[in-house]
Structure 1
Amino acid sequence: MTIGLKDSRSILAPHTVLLASAGSRKALAMAQSLKAFGARVLGVTSYATDPHRFSRFFDRVIVLRGVDRKSISWAVHVAEIAAAQGAELVLPVDFVDVVTFSSYAGVFEKLGTRLVAPEAKAVLEASRKDSLPKLVGDVVRVPYSVTFMAPSEVEIKAVKRLQLPLVVKGLGDASHPEYFSSYELAAERARERAPCLVQEYVAGRGRGYFAVAFNGDVLMEFTHERIYEYDPAGGASVAARGPILDPRLFRLGREIVRRLEWTGPLMVETKWVPTTEEYYLIELNTKFWGSLALPVSLGYHFPVVLAVAYLKGVDAAKEFCNYLMVQSGEYYFLLDSLFYLFRIPETWAEMFARSRIIRSDIDLTDPARVAVQSLIAMVRGLRSRSEWKRGLAVASSRLKTILKLSKPIAGVVFDLDGTLVRLKIPWSEVRRKLVSKGLLYEWESIRKGFTRLWYSDKNLYYGMSSIVENFERKYLHNIEILVNVDMLNDIKQNYGLSYYIVTLQPESIAKDIAQRIGLQVDLVLGRNSGFGPVKENVFHKALSCRDKGDFVVFDDDLTNIIFALRAGFLSVLVTESKYNKIHSLRLGILFTEPRYIHDVIISLLRNMKRPREPAT
């Protein structure tokens, strides 16, 4: 069939679509999208106090109290409501709805309602985190892990072969991850949670590939990057931006959809490591994703595309996509993240300012839902404050346990920009120069370009490095000192410590800066030292240079901190952000602000009872 532009705006009229369960933010985004194109939208929820049921985007919401959503009763009740209300389609919302409805798909078929869901076997197979390496391990890297089925010495030994920090989480959809930087603590928790997965933590940025597909054919796709998450250490996004125009993310997502011959919505959740340019698959979500409001707000109407595919055919859905006007942008779940007001107020305030309310879930045209959701969010935020504090206390206790096992330190490895000083270089101007020279793609960061060229063409790498160095040298006069240099020099002299600088700046620039600020250093390793722009390689070189004892690393990039930790260094994240401090604490990693680095070194020396060794 052929769809005109005018027809596309009411393509779902007069069809009725039922969403179950309607009690989540993704259900709200689904309803808003479907309603915008003429559908009559019904919702079914099991919670009478659910704020989303008051939204104007639902024509009617029916409350089913006391029904177990994992039972056949849930499928039967929803199917009967759909039939009674004349709903042509039923769209499951949460994972439990997808599993239950697909398991009892015959119930919907008997009552003449179409269920929009993959087969139950496909859903369960794709959702098992321990099956991902076998399922799509040749498409994208999957973090090394151990499936902990029951406490045994074999599994504990296997856990100790993984690299710290570790994540202990469930095997299915609601995985509830916990983080550990000690094998003993991780194994102890795994014993308590078995069956579960113990996995190497991937320090990177959360990125997702989203698609609606039909038999492996992608109808619409989108990518995003998380800005803030429910918990600083990980979780669903409370702020995100997109689309992320990285062709590799699109390629791996499309291949997974094709490989699974997927029908319906699918999220490919990944971690992207900027320093190595690698993607790691975290999980596959066989449902509409929690951040659906982001693409919908930008014109990517996934629920409508899926509904059109089932009601009018795949060709009609593809044609409909051609009429959509899409854009890029950010979205902030201000009400969903209101608990941050009682945990990290600065984070919520920043989200509020950046959202300008327009790009958020505070929709002033939906006042009843906003009012109820705000009230409930405030109450929950107040109640969760004590639990939040207890969680931080437990994390602090674990960190102290780890510190007791640390050895005396003989030296310090410093990052440069963001740790010792702040370089005030016009990086946007640098990017334009590199793009004009054909050394950087439009969608790449400078660090990404360095990494790509290091592994593909060393001559171009050093050419790019030379161009960037010209800018770095031009702005050498414009640096901000972040540390107490006099105190650091006194500590070095009094305790006989070695000081290294390991930086992404070239050696000559780093040495000039150290001389300008008066910091005494023994060794400088930079991006032109023969080890490339990946600090993992440079840390191993620094490790071979140290003469005695352990070194402590100070860096403002968590990815580099993880590299240092796995290379055998005691690691300290340098940050002024409270959000990042909590993230570090959750992982069992020390943190400090630049101005307190000297205090941390002194504390470590005292706590570890390192003998005083004055320089001679």
Structure 2
Amino acid sequence: MLDGHSAAALAFTRSLGRAGHWVAVGSNQDIPAPAEVSRYCRTSFRYPVSTDDASGFVESVLEFARNHPIDLIVPMTDWTILPLSKCRDRFQGVSRLALGPHSALEISSDKYKTVLLARERNVPVPETALVQSLADLQGARKFAFPVVVKDRFSARWLGKRAVLGSVTYAYSQDDLRQKVEQRLCEAGDVLVQEFIAGTGIGFASFAVDETLHLPFQWLRIREVDPRGSGSSARKSIPVTPEFFEFSRALITRIGFQGISMVEFKQHGSGHAVLMEINGRPWGSLQLPIASGIDYPRYLVDWYLEGRLPPRAIDYRQGVTCRRLVSELAHLEHVFAGAPLGWPTPYPSFLMTLLKISVPWYPGMCYDDVWLSDPRPGVAGLVHWFWRHFAKPKTERSGTASRTR
């Protein structure tokens, strides 16, 4: 497993370790990696940060795979998937890579190509303008404020290094111009997108040829950042035909194979609007596992034994899964309050505190905190509290500004 800092890597490590697989965890240098302290991790290694040294990262993973009996390498994030995908030929005869087709990964990682694909397949998507110069902002004047300013890629490689993507909001024309100008200098182009209010809905599946196996759907209860981010708590719900058909239209069109998730917003009318496609393991992967769909095991069986996953599983609905450190981050954002000009109701700090303070109720579980495997959860909490209370104040402020 790569990206040992990620929630997806921890879910994979626990799932496959419990199934009896020998699991090694790789992680960036000098970053906490909860998955590597799991009882199910047999060994671990560190590699150069892929976004700083893509070739060094690939060489490190390749060397580890050559020196150990590694049957399958599973990257979890865009930061590791894309460098490996570009060098997949070098791993032939060494180890298999759990990667979809390179062409499919290129489309799913490109947010503007995803928008164009959605329009082609008649999947609702926010109004979006590709801005390559300040003159292109004329096309975004019809959008009501706030508008979303986001990079076209989560990571865009320029040579061996990557420009990391960001998502911000602009609340006026001057604010928009300033933020777009900054991203143009950094990345060369940027997307300006209408703001969509609504509830976050996720749809996951396992694509084999043109068939979607193991459909699964969930509702976001809380997001780490209430303005929009990954979820800190979410609940399994029934698969609905609209989300299934939209996802199938997108996934089969790009030719993706393996596990993926499609993110939507469901606005007040009840209809779906596409947010993005993740052609990779996702952060809330523990929820389908807890609900009865063990995607990691099915993925490994498919890659190593050619065994097809079931078409569908009658999974448990109403299961809630939380990530404790993300819940604390959510509470921190709520305490800071809504930005001036925020258009939708913002969570109440007191009500949020009360909800998060309930440690357990029937049907609830955790991504990170397990009594049977306590070290990853403890490590995550220790790092969170150290980062907030033990670091020098100036260093904490710098970290916060970089991660917002």
Residue 204 of structure 2 aligns to a residue whose secondary structure is: strand
| 1:206 lines up with 2:221 in the alignment | no
Aligned position for 1:118: 100
Question: Within 2, Cα distance between the matches of 1:128 and 1:318?
Answer: 30
**Alpha-carbon distance, 1:381 to partner:** 3.5
CA contact (8 A) 2:144 2:194 kept: yes
CA contact (8 A) 2:78 2:109 kept: no
**Alpha-carbon distance, 1:168 to partner:** 0.5
1:78-227 to 2 correspondences below 5 Å: 78-111=61-94, 113-137=95-119, 138-152=121-135, 155-173=136-154, 175-194=165-184, 195-227=189-221
* AA of the residue aligned to 2:323: F
What do the CA deviations read for 1:274-310 (whole angstroms, capped 9, x no partner)? x222211111111111111111121211111111111
Question: Within 2, Cα distance between the matches of 1:256 and 1:163?
Answer: 28
CA contact (8 A) 2:48 2:56 kept: no
**Alpha-carbon distance, 1:329 to partner:** 0.9
Residue 235 of structure 1 aligns to a residue whose secondary structure is: coil
Question: Within 2, Cα distance between the matches of 1:199 and 1:145?
Answer: 4
CA contact (8 A) 1:70 1:100 kept: no
CA contact (8 A) 2:48 2:60 kept: no
Of residues 352, 355, 358, the one that matches 1:353 is 358
CA contact (8 A) 1:33 1:304 kept: yes
Question: Within 1, Cα distance between the matches of 2:300 and 2:52?
Answer: 23
Question: Within 2, Cα distance between the matches of 1:86 and 1:390?
Answer: 41
**Alpha-carbon distance, 1:63 to partner:** 2.1
State the structure with more CA Rg. Answer: 1
* AA of the residue aligned to 2:86: S
**Alpha-carbon distance, 1:38 to partner:** 2.1
What do the CA deviations read for 1:66-114 (whole angstroms, capped 9, x no partner)? 6667513322321332232212111111111111111100111142x11
Question: Within 1, Cα distance between the matches of 2:380 and 2:44?
Answer: 16
Q: RMSD over aligned Cα, in angstroms? A: 2.7
Question: Structure 2 vs 1, CA of residues 183 and 66 (structure 1 numbering), >3 Å: closer, same or farther?
Answer: closer
CA contact (8 A) 2:206 2:212 kept: yes
Of residues 279, 293, 296, the one that matches 2:286 is 293
CA contact (8 A) 2:76 2:281 kept: yes
* AA of the residue aligned to 2:70: A
Question: Structure 2 vs 1, CA of residues 326 and 85 (structure 1 numbering), >3 Å: closer, same or farther?
Answer: farther
CA contact (8 A) 1:220 1:305 kept: no
Question: Within 2, Cα distance between the matches of 1:184 and 1:92?
Answer: 40
| 1:259 lines up with 2:265 in the alignment | no
**Alpha-carbon distance, 1:54 to partner:** 0.9
CA contact (8 A) 1:211 1:219 kept: yes
| 1:379 lines up with 2:381 in the alignment | no
Question: Within 1, Cα distance between the matches of 2:388 and 2:327?
Answer: 9
Question: Within 2, Cα distance between the matches of 1:216 and 1:352?
Answer: 44
* AA of the residue aligned to 2:369: I
Question: Within 2, Cα distance between the matches of 1:341 and 1:73?
Answer: 38
**Alpha-carbon distance, 1:144 to partner:** 0.5
Aligned position for 2:304: 311
365-374 or 37-46, which deviates more: 365-374
**Alpha-carbon distance, 1:334 to partner:** 0.9
Aligned position for 1:232: 226
CA contact (8 A) 1:145 1:199 kept: yes
Question: Within 2, Cα distance between the matches of 1:350 and 1:76?
Answer: 46
Question: Within 1, Cα distance between the matches of 2:379 and 2:74?
Answer: 25
Question: Within 2, Cα distance between the matches of 1:339 and 1:162?
Answer: 30
Question: Within 1, Cα distance between the matches of 2:325 and 2:237?
Answer: 23
**Alpha-carbon distance, 1:369 to partner:** 2.2
Question: Structure 2 vs 1, CA of residues 245 and 32 (structure 1 numbering), >3 Å: closer, same or farther?
Answer: same
1:36-55 to 2 correspondences below 5 Å: 36-48=18-30, 49-55=32-38
CA contact (8 A) 1:334 1:352 kept: no
**TM-score, with length taken from structure 1:** 0.55
CA contact (8 A) 1:293 1:331 kept: yes
Residue 58 of structure 1 aligns to a residue whose secondary structure is: coil
CA contact (8 A) 2:146 2:195 kept: yes
Question: Higher RCO, 1 or 2 (CA under 8 Å, sep at least 6)?
Answer: 2
| 1:362 lines up with 2:369 in the alignment | yes
Question: Within 1, Cα distance between the matches of 2:327 and 2:375?
Answer: 19
Question: Within 1, Cα distance between the matches of 2:107 and 2:124?
Answer: 18
CA contact (8 A) 1:170 1:176 kept: yes
* AA of the residue aligned to 1:50: A
**Alpha-carbon distance, 1:202 to partner:** 0.2
The number of equivalent residue pairs is: 367
Question: Structure 2 vs 1, CA of residues 157 and 212 (structure 1 numbering), >3 Å: closer, same or farther?
Answer: same
Aligned position for 2:45: 62
* AA of the residue aligned to 2:274: L
**Alpha-carbon distance, 1:209 to partner:** 1.1
| 1:241 lines up with 2:224 in the alignment | no
Question: Structure 2 vs 1, CA of residues 326 and 342 (structure 1 numbering), >3 Å: closer, same or farther?
Answer: closer
Question: Structure 2 vs 1, CA of residues 203 and 304 (structure 1 numbering), >3 Å: closer, same or farther?
Answer: same
Question: Within 2, Cα distance between the matches of 1:290 and 1:389?
Answer: 21
Question: Structure 2 vs 1, CA of residues 386 and 72 (structure 1 numbering), >3 Å: closer, same or farther?
Answer: closer
Question: Within 2, Cα distance between the matches of 1:385 and 1:240?
Answer: 29
1:394-409 to 2 correspondences below 5 Å: none
Question: Structure 2 vs 1, CA of residues 43 and 340 (structure 1 numbering), >3 Å: closer, same or farther?
Answer: same
CA contact (8 A) 1:207 1:269 kept: yes
Question: Structure 2 vs 1, CA of residues 31 and 51 (structure 1 numbering), >3 Å: closer, same or farther?
Answer: closer
**TM-score, with length taken from structure 2:** 0.83
**Alpha-carbon distance, 1:389 to partner:** 9.7
Question: Structure 2 vs 1, CA of residues 390 and 255 (structure 1 numbering), >3 Å: closer, same or farther?
Answer: closer
Aligned position for 1:76: 59
What do the CA deviations read for 1:309-365 (whole angstroms, capped 9, x no partner)? 1122243x338x76x864441111112332345453643541241644951222122
Question: Within 1, Cα distance between the matches of 2:401 and 2:278?
Answer: 30
Question: Within 1, Cα distance between the matches of 2:398 and 2:237?
Answer: 35
**Alpha-carbon distance, 1:162 to partner:** 2.1
1:421-460 to 2 correspondences below 5 Å: none
Residue 25 of structure 2 aligns to a residue whose secondary structure is: strand
Aligned position for 2:265: 271
Question: Within 1, Cα distance between the matches of 2:125 and 2:281?
Answer: 22
Contiguous gaps of at least 5 residues in structure 2: 156-164, 336-348
**Alpha-carbon distance, 1:50 to partner:** 2.5
CA contact (8 A) 2:23 2:43 kept: yes
Question: Within 2, Cα distance between the matches of 1:64 and 1:52?
Answer: 15
Question: Within 2, Cα distance between the matches of 1:227 and 1:80?
Answer: 42
Aligned position for 2:342: none
What do the CA deviations read for 1:183-216 (whole angstroms, capped 9, x no partner)? 3321221122121111000011111111221233
| 1:302 lines up with 2:295 in the alignment | yes
CA contact (8 A) 1:70 1:97 kept: no
